[in-house]
Amino acid sequence: MSGNKQEEDPRINGIKTKIRVVPDFPKKGIMFQDITTVLLDPKAFKDTIDLFVERYRDKNISVVAGIEARGFLFGPPIALAIGAKFVPLRKPKKLPGETIFEEYELEYGNDRLEMHVGAVEAGDRALVVDDLIATGGTLCAAINLLERVGAEVVECACVIELPELKGRQRLKGKPLCMLVEYR
């Protein structure tokens, strides 16, 4: 996967064929990349998880941070398989404990990510997981949250990248690993 996609791996194309593209959702002009259709196919879903587990199992990752909502689908199975803790980065007012937050802009609006204080500690080695990178604002907010508490962000992992939106440039120099590009 080379901090990029593992084009040579035959599993990638199988995953790609299961992503449904929905035009004009949630608003006109957005080509929505729907990963729920990947989840309907146990082989494609397992291949997605396996590709990330193969990449991260020997990287000494201590925490997988998953971004609400779709990062919650991919992050926990990766965390379990590599023996890392899972920390949810949530939308506003969902976490009951003390939180820190970062605000960001989306392709279609504004939002905020929150993280429980104490869930991630200084020195943790973090992998950030989401389904998709568009403008990179969400992943940038996640990186900021983790770095504020002293974690080292080792890499970001997404199933899909929309390269035209240049989200990689907002990742503060952190590597991005993705499986499928949508152009």
Ligand X SMILES: Nc1ncnc2[nH]cnc12
Asked about 107 being catalytic, the answer comes back as yes
Nearer to ligand X, 141 or 154 (CB): 141
Do β-strands 176-181 and 125-133 pair in parallel, antiparallel, or remain unpaired? unpaired
Of residues 33-62, those binding ligand PRP (CB under 6 A): none
Amino acid found at 124: D
**Separation of alpha carbons 74 and 157, rounded Å:** 10
Q: Does 21 bind ligand PRP (CB under 6 A)?
A: no
Q: Does 86 bind ligand X (CB under 6 A)?
A: no
Q: In this chain, which of 41, 50, 107, 181 binds ligand X, going by CB under 6 A? A: 107
41-44: long-range pairs with CB below 8 Å, 24+: 43/14, 44/14, 44/15, 44/17, 44/18
3-state secondary structure of 8: coil
- Judged by CB under 6 A, the stretch of 7-15, 45-53, 126-134, 173-181 that binds ligand PRP is 126-134
Residues of this chain that interact with ligand PRP (CB under 6 A) are 67-70, 106-107, 111, 130-138, 167
